[in-house]
Chains A and B, each alone.
Chain A
Amino acid sequence: MAPELAPAGAAPAAPAPRRPRGGERGPAADRTRGRRVGLLLTAPAALVMAATVAYPLVWVLQISVTSSATAVTGGHFVGLENYGAVLRSGSFRDALWHTVVFVVLTVTIEVVLSVLLATVLAKRLAGHRIFVGIFALPLMMAPIVSGFMWRWLFADQYGLVNYLLSLVGVDGPLWGGSPFWARLSILVANLWTALPFGILVLFAGMAGIPEELDEAAQLDGAGPWQRFRHVTLPLLRPAILLVLVVRIADAFRVYDVVYILTGGGPAGSTNVLNTYIFKRSFSDFQFGQGAAAAVLVMVLSAVISVAAFRVLRPKEDAQ
């Protein structure tokens, strides 16, 4: 057993015999050695993560209570002043409101459409695998790519969307021109990247539902809607929960699509929390307020995710 540690190369692993429990050298010694090996194997990754995530997180907390203008060179402690300034600012409140509406709308639409499409996929019609492949495509693509493609599709004169609308006699709008159409274009472009996740997770969730249940309900005279409502949906709850928690957290930090489609415009009507923080920090160089807003966003999205989890889980137990 002695050579066990040798090839690990990293650190000479301290002389093996220095082990007090003389009697039970076998398993106990093994366990101690196992612990040491575990520590050696996991330490590099753990240290890198501590330096690149934990330390910056502490730093951002510190910046958020430091006077804005001098945050780069140190600055002085200002307590919760930055938080107050952020919460009082109209543009932060607007961005917060836009984000909340966006999250509610997009996640609701995503869940409804995902349930519909996953239910149809689960019928396993001939060729359904091809559709699964097509639906998986946007999942791999950068949101920035989705935004860029939809911007071209929504172009006023040369765009395909307005051309298709004109074919059915509709005069297409100037998509970037008014708050309503700009927001709608963001919703559509975001749906393109986000919807596949829900479809595929729910499709995988449905694969785990035994067919006999559905057949038994059918024998009992339950119609398609009743079977869906009382058999499929309750069994699908864990998968829906996963989609909700992940997507709420992600939708809260929407940024790329907004940046490339509207840049927050027209007139700030599509500003969201992330574009607000980005502007505050890297255009206005108000790092203190940017950090305070970022901390608020982190806390908010954590609270909402946990709440979604809490609200939805008990029902699942009751079923």
Chain B
Amino acid sequence: MNRVLTRAAQYAVLAVAAVFFVLPVLWTLLTSLKPDLQLRSIPPTIVPSPPTLENYTGTGGGLLVYLRNSVVASVVATAVSLLLSIPAAYGFARFPYRFSGGVFGAIVICRFVPTIVLSIPYFLMMSRLGLLDTLLGLVAVYVPLQTTLMVWLLESFFRQVPRELEEAAQIDGLGVVGRLVRIVIPLTLPSLAVATILGFLASWNEFLLANTLGRTTASQTMPVGIASFVTSFQTDWGQLTANGILYMLPVMAVTLAAQRGLISGLTQGALKG
């Protein structure tokens, strides 16, 4: 009897937490499927009847231009960061030189510099270079954001590749790049995916810099778009939630697909900055 009660209490704790975490997403989803009239009914309509997709299709969504900016800035920044981080992490893991430990430490510690501190010089830098309110300027500040994280994660992943494999490949005449591309990268592909996703998310979710450097829809990303719509007076919650769902969808899909790898990557790398 006592045991049954304990079990029930344990499930109750988990259930309460699960409701807390699911509720906002569920409510956002339900809202996005409601016709205009049910959005502002008092008391609130819980389940839309009938559910409609008009918020997703109507007037082009309004925020789709922000979504495009988010995709472009995040994808390009991720690609550039991978090109910088993969060789660097391999170098730090396998070819130490005199100050390589210090250089590695300096790159990793950049993750702990508060973004707000960098926002001021970034703003001045971009206005001097004429890159304010451009996607290029945004990519330029997202690359360090991702690189510091990727170098840190990838270095430990690459270190775990058995040295013997690389030595054998070296005897077979493979050069440094050959060993990296044909041995190390294929062997660490799952970890590489985790580092890529976490790097991507760092810019996909970024708000402060996007809000500082972006002035118009030419470069404002989805978080800025959402913020400006939310804080304006007549908010169309139907369209806003629909766009919010479109923005969250790729993240949710990736989370569910790569759950276990991501969680261990997160707990090891202790994300955010």
Chain A residues packing against B (C-beta within 8 Å): 3-9, 34-42, 44-46, 48-49, 52-57, 59-60, 63, 71-72, 113, 116-117, 120-121, 123, 125, 128, 131-153, 157-160, 163, 166, 192, 196-197, 200-201, 204, 242, 246, 249-250, 252-253, 255-256, 259-260, 263, 273-274, 277-278, 281-282, 287, 290-291, 294-295, 297-298, 301-302, 305
A159 touches B44 (CB 8 A): yes
16 example contacts (A-B, Cβ-Cβ < 8 A) are as follows A34-B96, A37-B176, A44-B87, A45-B88, A48-B84, A49-B107, A54-B106, A56-B125, A72-B124, A120-B13, A125-B7, A133-B256, A148-B240, A204-B264, A282-B212, A298-B117
Question: Which chain A residues lie closer than 8 Å to B140 at the CB level?
Answer: 52
Say whether B85 contacts A137, CB under 8 Å.
Answer: no
B58 at the interface (CB under 8 A from A): no
Considering the chains assembled together, what is the distance between the CA atoms of A55 and B207 in angstroms? 22
- Is B107 within 8 A of A46, CB to CB? yes
Q: Give a binary string over B252-273; 1 marks a CB under 8 Å from any A CB, 0 the rest.
A: 1011100100111011001111
Complex interface: chain A residues within 8 A of B254 (CB): 140
Q: Is the CB of A148 within 8 A of B120?
A: no
Assess the A53–B223 pair: CB atoms within 8 A.
no
Listed from nearest, the 5 A-B pairs whose CB atoms lie closest are A41-B91, A38-B95, A142-B205, A45-B88, A7-B175
A141 contacts across to B, CB distance below 8 A: 205, 248, 251
Q: When the two chains form the complex, which single residue of B23, B88, B175, B248 contacts A8, counting CB atoms closer than 8 Å?
A: B175
Closest chain A residue, CB of each to CB of B228: A260
A140-B201 contact, Cβ under 8 Å, with A35-B97, A42-B87, A49-B147: yes
Inter-subunit contact A250/B96 (CB<8 Å): no
Chain B: minimal CB distance from A3 (Å): 6
Write the chain A residue with the least CB distance to B41.
A158
A189 to chain B, nearest CB (A): 9
Question: Of residues 87 to 143 in B, which have CB atoms within 8 Å of A's CB atoms?
Answer: 87-88, 90-92, 94-98, 100, 103-104, 106-107, 110, 112-125, 127, 140-141, 143
Q: What separation, in Å, do the CA atoms of A14 and B122 have in the docked complex?
A: 37
CB-nearest residue of chain A relative to B171? A1
Cα-based distance from A33 to B207 in the complex (angstroms):
43
CB contacts (< 8 Å) of A145 on chain B: these are 205, 223, 226, 244, 247-248
Task: Give CA–CA (A148, B237) in the complex, Å.
Answer: 10
Pair A136/B107 contact, Cβ less than 8 Å: no
B201–A246 touching, CB < 8 Å: no
Judge whether B207 and A255 touch: CB under 8 Å. yes
- Known: A148-B226, A260-B230. Contact between A131 and B207, CB under 8 A? no
Kindly state whether residue B187 has any CB partner on chain A within 8 Å.
no
**Least distance between B13 CB and chain A CB atoms (Å):** 5
| B173 interface residue per 8 A CB criterion | yes
Residue of B nearest to A44 (CB): B84
Interface size class of chain B, counting residues whose CB lies under 8 Å from the partner chain: 35 or more
Distance, CA A144 to CA B248, complexed state (A)? 11
Task: Let me know if B255 and A142 touch, CB within 8 A.
Answer: no
- B-side residues, CB < 8 A to A, are 7, 10-11, 13-14, 17-18, 20-25, 27-28, 31, 39-44, 84-85, 87-88, 90-92, 94-98, 100, 103-104, 106-107, 110, 112-125, 127, 140-141, 143-144, 147-148, 151, 170, 173, 175-178, 201, 204-208, 211-212, 223, 226-227, 230-231, 237, 240-241, 244, 247-248, 251-252, 254-256, 259, 262-264, 266-267, 270-273
Q: Is the CB of B117 within 8 A of A35?
A: no
* CB pair B112 A137 closer than 8 Å: no
Q: Which of B92, B104, B119 has the most CB of A within 10 A?
A: B119
Which residue of the partner chain A has the closest CB to B259? A133
Asked if residues A281 and B17 are in contact (CB atoms below 8 Å), the reply is: no
Inter-subunit contact A298/B113 (CB<8 Å): yes
A125 touches B116 (CB 8 A): no
Which of B17, B42, B127, B206 gathers the greatest number of chain A CB atoms within 10 Å? B17
With contacts A35-B95, A56-B122 taken as known, whether A125 is within 8 angstroms of B11 at the C-beta atoms is: yes
In the bound complex, residues from chain B placing their C-beta under 8 Å from that of A201 are 267, 270
B77 to A: closest C-beta gap in Å: 12
User: Which residues of chain A come closer than 8 Å to B96, judged between CB atoms?
Assistant: 34-35, 38
Given contacts A38-B91, A281-B123, contact A294 B117 (CB under 8 A): yes
Asked if B178 contacts A7 (CB within 8 A), the reply is yes
- Say yes or no: B176 contacts A5, CB within 8 Å: yes
Q: Are B43 and A9 in contact (CB under 8 A)?
A: no
A213→B100 CA distance, assembly (Å): 41
A250 to B270, CA, bound (A): 11
> Are A249's CB and B204's CB within 8 A?
no
Q: Is the CB of A294 within 8 A of B120?
A: yes
Q: Is the CB of A137 within 8 A of B223?
A: no
